[in-house]
Amino acid sequence: MAKVPGAVIAAGGLVGGYGVARWTGRRPLGGAVLAAAGAAAAQQWRQRAGGKAAGALSAAYVAAFAGSHPLAKKVGAWPAVFGVAGVVALASWAVADRRG
């Protein structure tokens, strides 16, 4: 069975985590989605590109989550989330997924 690319998992985690937190009103639940997707993406990155790449992409994932908050004050919540998800997906593809 084909594996889902890390780019899809990471972008889905950022968008899905925010969506779950917003629609349920429970931030910890959104955080759980974010964390689970981040762990799954990191596993894919480690398998495809090694530990250093996985560490760098995981740091980018966390930075994107953190960076979406101040960005949301300037452009709105959903545009910020989609923007950082796109950046992380592109980085994932460039570093790990295009190899697989």
Separation of first and last alpha carbons in the chain: 14
User: Taking residues 3-12, what's their average pLDDT?
Assistant: 94
**Tokens at 97, concatenated:** 């997924």
pLDDT at 1: 42
**Tokens at 68, concatenated:** 């979406």
Q: What is the pLDDT of residues 64-76, one digit of tens each?
A: 999 999 999 999 9
Answer whether residue 2 shows pLDDT above 70. no
Rounded (10°) CA dihedral 85, 90, 96, 100: 100
The residue type of 94 is A
CA 68 to chain centre: 11
Q: What is the pLDDT of residues 74-85, one digit of tens each?
A: 999 999 999 999
Closest CA to 47 of 9, 82, 83, 11: 9
Residues 3 and 44 sit within 8 Å (Cβ to Cβ): yes
